[in-house]
Amino acid sequence: MNFKPLGKRVLVKRLEEENMTSSGIIIPDNAKEKPSKGEVVAVSSEVTELSCGNTVVFGKYSGNEISLDGVKYLVMDTDDIFGIIG
C-alpha cells in the first residue's frame, strides 16, 4: 500500500471493538456499532500533531471510507479527530 494523504488529512485503520460484553454475552456483528477508535497509518506532511502508530478517537461518522489492497481505511481531516489515546 502506498498512500499519502493531502492537506490536513490522515489515513486511519479502524480498531475492532470487543465482540463480548464483560458479563460474557456475545454481540452479533449486525448489532455492533462502528468503532470510533483507530490507528493512524499515514499522515500528510502538513500534519504535525499526529504520527503513524498513534491510536486516535474520532466521531462515529467521520471520514471517508476507502479500500486499499482489500483493507478498509478512513481518510479524515485532523479536525474530525478528538484526541490521541495513550
Q: Is residue 2 very low, low, confident or very high in pLDDT (cuts 50, 70, 90)?
A: confident
User: Is 45 within a domain?
Assistant: yes
Digit-coded pLDDT (tens) for 60-71? 889 999 999 999
What distance in Å separates the CA atoms of residue 27 and residue 20, rounded to the nearest whole number?
A: 6
Its pTM stands at: 0.80
**DSSP label at residue 8:** S
Count of domains for the chain: 1
User: What domain range is 39 assigned to?
Assistant: 9-85
pLDDT at 10 over 90: yes
User: Is 3 within a domain?
Assistant: no
Across residues 44-64, what is the average pLDDT?
A: 95
User: Is 25 within a domain?
Assistant: yes
User: Is 60 within a domain?
Assistant: yes
- Summary mean pLDDT of the chain: 87
User: Is 39 within a domain?
Assistant: yes
φ, ψ of residue 11 in degrees (nearest 5): -105, 125
Digit-coded pLDDT (tens) for 14-24? 997 656 556 76
User: Is 65 within a domain?
Assistant: yes
Q: Please report, for the domain that includes residue 55, its CATH number.
A: 2.30.33.40
Quote the pLDDT of residue 86.
86
